[in-house]
Amino acid sequence: MTTTLTWYGHATLGLETAGYHILVDPFFNGNPAASTTASRVSADYILVTHGHRDHIGDSVDIARRTGATVISNFEICNWLGAKDVKTHGQHLGGGHQHPFGYLKLTLALHGSALPDGTYGGNPIGFLLTTLDGHKIYLAGDTGLFGDMRLIGEEGLDLAVIPIGDNYTMGPGDALRAVKMLQPRHVVPIHFNTFDLIKQDAADWKAKVEAETTSRVQLLKPGGTFTLD
């Protein structure tokens, strides 16, 4: 069994695992880096890390069109539920066995106001254990925090982390994050979408691979990485 990750640009991801299509933070409309459009993607589940516009994105439209269930924190699920979207609310530290794998919500240091100003609860990351036992950590928007060590203790096959700086960890702290997470593979995201978060990903890859045993998979928007 394989699990394939697609980076659609910015923080928008696709995961295909056990025949399920999972979208993460589906921001297509207004995303200058997007490799496709909200009307073209398929989804059985949509994972939302926090309420900011560049993450909740097109969740409502895609969920209504596809019938996908949105998984997020309780507050964001309440907001989406009032818009006729199917949801499954969880909260920090809580895991649940979904048909596609066991999904746990993790801490993230960030904000989470929804586009209309509604309180969006605490921002989150996701730790997914696929049906064939692969562990994938999706950090969401976050600054560096020491409890990444605890997440690393789970034994990560893949970590997807922001490196853009200004709104999230920059390259220096993201390198420190990799040292705590110790994933087999790492995919950097949330950079180069706008000038404010421009980074040299090739330089970051060289540093990470010189100082850790993790392999950096640099994707272009629309690019994929398969875990086997």
Q: Rule CB under 5 A: say whether 75 interacts with Ni ion.
A: no
Residues 128 to 147 in contact with Ni ion, rule: CB under 5 A: 141
Rounded Cα distance, 66 and 204, in Å: 37
- 52 versus 134: smaller Cβ distance to Ni ion: 52
DSSP, collapsed to helix, strand or coil, labels residue 21 as strand
Residues 37 to 56 in contact with Mn ion, rule: CB under 5 A: 54
- 52 versus 104: smaller Cβ distance to Ni ion: 52
Torsion of CA 117, 146, 101, 46, to 10 degrees: 20
Rounded Cα distance, 148 and 116, in Å: 31
Question: How do beta strands 135-138 and 158-162 pair?
Answer: parallel
Rounded Cα distance, 16 and 76, in Å: 24
For residues 125 to 164, the per-residue mask of contacts with Mn ion, x marking binding by CB under 5 A and - elsewhere, is: ----------------x-----------------------
The distance of closest approach from Cβ of residue 110 to Ni ion in the complex, given in angstroms and rounded to an integer, is 5
Size of residue set near Ni ion by CB under 5 A? 2
- 141 versus 157: smaller Cβ distance to Mn ion: 141
Q: Please state the φ and ψ torsions of residue 135, each to the nearest 5 degrees.
A: -110, 125
Q: Which residues bind Ni ion (CB under 5 A)?
A: 52, 141
Q: Which residues bind Mn ion (CB under 5 A)?
A: 54, 141
